[in-house]
A and B are shown apart, each in its own frame.
Chain A
Amino acid sequence: MLEPGLSPADSICISLQGVGVTYGTQRGPVEAIADISLDIGEGEFVALLGPTGCGKSTLLRVIGDLRAPTVGRVGVRAQPAYVARHQNQFGFVFQEPALLPWRSALKNVQLPLEVVDYPPEKRAERCLELLGRVGLLSFKDNLPHELSGGMKQRVAIVRALAWDPPILLMDEPFSALDELTRNQLQDDLLELWAQDKKTIVFVTHNISEAVYLADRIAVMSARPGRISCILQVDLPRPRAPEMRQDRDFLNHVVQAQEALRS
């Protein structure tokens, strides 16, 4: 994935320059996000942290070309975002699993492979491999309503990885889960990321989640949504559940809290 001779920090994957989104409403235009500039490196894990309604989901949709910015430029690997989308470079995961209720877990993972020109004879094998990696092999034939919330979200994650896109865009993927499940899925995600080294943009309003997962945290303020500061997370990898009690970890959490407050 990396060009030879470049370290991850050198090679920019996603580049946002002066991005703003303005919605037209009945009471006139409302600025959802404004003046956002951010570079995200190849293979980097960046969290967008902010209060509800600060426009972080809007920003994620702009990166993934699900909507166009009103002003500014979004570059993905030196190309406009829509080119990247047309090359299927984005894997989206949403807050809700958003699975097709009439398809089994396996067939849900297979959905994108039917769309992105994946060789038909390799589809089933690829889906089984992915389900195996998140421990759902024995649930491959179950319909979504027969799975728990955590299992469904696992299916949604591997669905977004199925065709091996270089970039994963995640919109509060664990916020609807209970804490134990959420912690488990965070570890699962880190493991998947350690194997594949994808670039991940992870939207969350959960501070410790952002600290636990990310290399860098872009802290956002609301109305209009702006990046108020960027925190470097200097915690060693691989991250482990015990680290959640470390002083270093808690320092980062406090730092992020203060950044959110200001």
Chain B
Amino acid sequence: MDYSSDNVLVQMFEWLTAESSWTGTGSIPQRILEHLGYTALAVGIAALIAVPLGLYIGHTGRGRVVVVSGAGILRALPTLGLVFLFVLLAGIGLMPPIWALVLLAIPPLLAGVYAGISSVDRTVVDAARAMGMTELQILFRVELPNGFKVLFGGFRAAVLQVLATVSVVAFISLGGLGVYLIEGTQLRDNGRLFGGALLIALLALAVDLVLAAVQRLALSPGLRSRTRKPANHRRRQPSPAGLAEGTTA
């Protein structure tokens, strides 16, 4: 692409606004959809594995040490190395790199679910049990909604991590926004290279904003940190003692 200036920022702007970038095969919208699709696929598969495991460990406290240290090991694995390893072992195709991303997403998801469930006040769980809830009812009606904030935090971390890393699948010609980074490097097209990088950053930001909004809507009003008492029901003056308790009897 021909640019009007040598300035990288100008080139980036021109690439991002060029009509050719937004139409045809390999257009920005197509790459964004690919990028989001791979992210969703990887996080989805990781969730199928990590969520039940995290719920079980969080609720029972069993197997905590094994799983937490296992997740630590997974975190230490280099993703790009894994992608090529899986490709070498399983051949070119969609799933080998996805499995590498799944391994990347499992630790934050697992830690979030486990920490969320076990963060719920034990006296609340004890009360729920004493009222006659079964263990599954306790898990889904008490621990899950009350641990949701921490749990969803782990989900957001996993999504962002995968979203940032999914660019590597471009190395094996699967598309996604990573394509612009590779093409930009190969073609010495700085507008494309930096434009692609900016798109990845903006996409991550946008996705996290959406998830933050979802979290806010899904969280019970009783759990929001700034739960305010209605103004006309504020705690009254301390004297006369006891009257503020609202006895009507």
A joins B in a complex:
no
Instruction: Give residues in B with beta carbon < 8 Å to A.
Output: none
Instruction: Give residues in A with beta carbon < 8 Å to B.
Output: none
